[in-house]
Structure 1
């Protein structure tokens, strides 16, 4: 499919895409890692792990832990994040206008995120945009995290739209790769990484600091 072909559905990652919050996740991860005496490489952590299911991030450090223990460890980190980010929740620039435009044109939208349900609630309910989305898909529903394509394929199926007709908005290489594996075009938001980080992905049709810069993107004309 050509890059400029108008999308028939939109799929949004959440962290670093709907909101610019990755530094708060990094702060929480750093505190969590240090609390368990584990090394933490802040410079590379988000780029390597963003979009992965949290159990896949934590699991290798605790190979003997069962699912319940991994859930407990994950919630420790997520609680730290929610406590610090809650006062700062704000939509990324231009997002409300894009959501309004898609709704006017009858273009369905979904969220495909590795975030825990409580984190999803923090963002979508604080911003009062949950009802904008036809579906929300996450690993908590039994899907594999990114870079597997499961979240995005499930979102397309639930919306009744072919994968190639979807555009995915992402901020992380794992998410862009998941979109590629799903056969979907992607737009990379540069809240976490520079444009060069996405240069090797053939499905990336645009990069932008926020959604404002995408107002004239042909694929989002919905014509």
Structure 2
């Protein structure tokens, strides 16, 4: 039987199925990237809810796995060489799972790096900028009288949507075929509309390709399941 007791995180979140990949997460845009990926590749996993309400992300047990105290994080009992692998950062986890299973990442080396390029576009641009729109539009920043910070992030988010919309011309998905790039990007686009109430603010109506592909993404059964994990 697989033994994960050497990992402190299992003291706070015991593994009922230690032979399965352990996911520590919440249904945020970054969190659902991994749950959607796991649902898409049909890899058995056990999910543990990291509650922000009780500051679970700041506990020593969680930080022992995720040094940056951010979700999601995983503990794979069957990592490289058959040894357990702890991993944090959603983009790194997506790459790891794609390479572990040989799915949702192009095998051609040039296309693989092209996909990684667009994954970094999400990690370095879409996520941080859309998140700032959320902060200034519906969270604490909405009460600031000075709207210049909000408008700066709105303008940059609109620019990024324009880049994405142009990329999608003549393509079903960002890489042509469905990939980890889509799993990374579309939860953030959805959040911009549904959670941050910013569709009108960023002019979403102007980006027909973005709206088309978002609709296709949300229609996928694995996506629909992954968006609710953990419940």
TM-score by length of 2: 0.30
Larger radius of gyration: 2
TM-score by length of 1: 0.31
Give the number of the structure whose residues are more often helix, by fraction: 2
